[in-house]
Amino acid sequence: MELKSTAFKAYDIRGKVPEEVNEELAYRIGRVFPTLFNAKKVAVGHDIRLSGPAIQRALELGLTEMGCEVIDIGQCGTEMIYFATAHLGLDGGIMITASHNPKEYNGLKLVRKEARPISSDTGLKDIEEKVMAGDLGTPAATPAKVIEVDIMKDYVEHLLTYVDTKELKPLKVVVNSGNGAAGPVIDELEKVLPFNFIKVYNQPDGNFPNGVPNPILHENREATAKVVREEKADLGVAFDGDFDRCFIFDENGDMIEGYYIVGFLAKAFLNKNPGAKIIYDPRLIWNTIEIVEEAGGTPIMCKSGHAFIKDRMRKEDAVYGGEMSAHNYFKDFSFCDSGQITWLLVAELLSQSGTTMSALIKERMERYPISGEINSTVADPKGVMAAIEEKYGATGTVTKVDGLSVDYDDWRFNLRISNTEPVIRLNVETRGDKALLKEKTEELLAVIRG
């Protein structure tokens, strides 16, 4: 099969099957991984995509030919590979997934010891060079074995350490797994939690009969929202395909922006860990900073992207990190992101509150209203960034931790160029002024879109 380097992204390997991601690519990655990362034992698993098992077999062939033992955990979510790698003390882990992409895609997410991410600046470029050049190393005299391990019991036990199950109320919870990999985990949690689960699209199915498991798409949200309203549920939870992200819905079926969940969880961690450090990304910041400082914690800004957040959390020994994109990271989960831990913590906070989900978040949403991330396709992204900086930079405070942020007393915005397409992403927030939010968002979009 022909190989294309277009599958190699900043943080993972991802593309169409078989044009960009195929068994030959997986086999070659299996051959170069052990040498580059001195790996003797590696966890491997796949999500629900139909191409997953064949790609996994090819990957395992490459790994075992190099004398690297494979711990095969089968069908799973990305965070289960993170867990297996750290929990079993392995030298690395490889997850076969394309997350929320359409069904004709697949890919690989790779980690080293302690589930540390492998991205373009920590080895992914080295893998790409060797794979594309066919520099596959010398096979071991004796191939290693593939050992099948069921990690589910240990993984679920670990998830339950994040909440006090005695504090949990018999909430009615709608869970939409989107026919992705989350369903079997929800089935296991149902056995030990007091919640009344109403399951939507719970059966894993790589044909995606109910659409791509990507709740961030507006057209996909109603499947969860409708059931929440019909069942008069207390909480709605929707997962993407590999469930490293979850999306929270209140009792009215309204999806809560990931930004507000960051502040919500930060406060919960600071209640249990006084004075701790909390990592947040630069796109939307005021709500998080205020909550963390009021709770006695230290807010630390970090460039968005899981590799950056995880690295900064380790350096700062931060207890929690959150991105507005619904990625939430936990120190006790090897500083990795987990959709399951996120919703469990939200459910615990809701149980303890004695009120509704909308009431818990309403005040924060009114205090710091946001535009939501707005994408614009432009011919010259760098030119647009320069024009925006020239127009707004002179009168506001400029920071460039991630793209361009400009702060004023009562409003601010962040503008970023996509890594993969000619798209600019805009986020705007104000201090309680929805009219100003609308005005400034429209003003910025007029400049961006010409």
The catalytic residues are 99
**Long-range contact list for 148-151, CB < 8 A, 24+ apart?**
148/72, 148/73, 148/74, 149/71, 149/72, 149/73, 149/84, 149/88, 150/73, 150/74, 151/73, 151/76, 151/80, 151/83, 151/84, 151/87, 151/88
User: What contacts 318, CB < 8 A, 6 or more positions away?
Assistant: 276, 277, 278, 279, 300, 312, 331
CA triple 316-318-324, angle to 5 deg: 115
Contact present, 367 and 287 (Cβ < 8 Å) = yes
Q: How many CA atoms lie within 13 A of 76 on its CB side?
A: 29
Question: At 190, which amino acid appears?
Answer: E
According to DSSP, the residues that pair with 279 across neighbouring strands are 300, 321
Euclidean distance between the first and final Cα of the chain, in Å? 44
Contact present, 7 and 15 (Cβ < 8 Å) = yes
Contact present, 265 and 279 (Cβ < 8 Å) = no
According to DSSP, the residues that pair with 425 across neighbouring strands are 375, 416
Contact present, 201 and 178 (Cβ < 8 Å) = yes
How far apart, in whole angstroms, are the C-alpha atoms of residue 273 and residue 406? 32
